[in-house]
Amino acid sequence: MSFDRFIGIDWSGARGPRLRGIQVALCEPGRAAPRLVTNWGGPWRRSDLADWLARECESGAPLIGFDFSFTFPYCDRGAYFPEAESPPDAAGLWALIDEACRGEPEYYGGPFREAAPWRDYFLSSGRRGARYQTRHKQTELACLAQGLGRPESVFKLIGPSQVGMGSLAGIRLLAALKRAVPRVSIWPFDKREASGPVIAETFPRAFLAHAVQERRKVRDHAPLAAALKVFGCAPYRGDLPSDDAADAIVLSAGLRARHGEKNLWKPKAMTEEIRRTEGWIFGVA
């Protein structure tokens, strides 16, 4: 499949209009270093990013990597929410979350976390849901087994490495992008066209581990240059405002370097049930 640009996005589930945690990097085919893409007027709003991505998808064929979980665990218990009215697939889950958060600005996902019966499945600040378990998707277990990092459970909503709130907000944005640009393919749930925009779930630690066996956050140019070199990429010489920006840069370069690896698009462990309900992390074989 031919892509004309590669976009890595370090995401945030925080509440607020402008979020410094959202960082966006883009690179085009070739060897040039990725560049950071900034929002007008300050840090990114999620709504501004959604509009920008829609324009990118309408005008070309980008491969876009987000670092949040596109779904919840399903295959371990045969349901996203055992003992509750649980959707049968990813599309149903996305619709459920988006409907529960209707009216909440900037794609914030907090209302779903607070709504019954779903709140019973989460570990939140000051509250442990009666049905909370530290569950993982099959691709997350594969990531751990391959030494590519330890993804957090999406049901855990506390701690610096939690991904649950970002996933709730991100799922709402995915739903909005599909409405705005129907030609967008969300991998691996949608059929990939011969040419067109594709959005994939990614895990920056997995790309760093593949490149330089790096487990810590990248906060300066030296380890970033080492990772980019493995990906056949020129050194990044611009300002590096945060480790979030470094993650976005690595994602963008990693997507460009590895998008041609067929085993990443069709991992042997991804059964039809996994594809339909949980999806997969691009970069995990």
Q: Nearest to residue 131, comparing CAs of 77, 175, 95, 177?
A: 77
Distance CA 171, CA 188 (A): 15
Q: What is the SS3 assignment for 200?
A: strand
From first to last of the 285 residues of the chain, give the pLDDT tens digit.
689 999 999 999 999 999 999 999 999 999 999 999 999 889 999 999 999 999 999 989 999 999 999 999 999 999 999 999 899 999 999 999 999 999 999 999 999 999 999 999 999 988 999 999 999 999 999 999 998 888 999 999 998 889 999 999 999 999 999 999 999 999 999 987 667 999 999 998 888 887 766 566 787 888 899 889 999 999 999 989 899 999 999 999 999 999 999 999 999 999 999 999 999 999 998
pTM, to two decimals: 0.95
Q: What is the SS3 assignment for 275?
A: helix
| Paired sense of beta strands 123-124 and 127-128, if any | antiparallel
Question: Quick one: 30 exposed, middle or buried, by C-beta within 10 A (0-12, 13-18, 19+)?
Answer: exposed
Q: Report H helices in the chain.
A: 46-59, 90-100, 110-114, 138-145, 164-180, 204-212, 221-230, 243-258, 262-265, 272-277
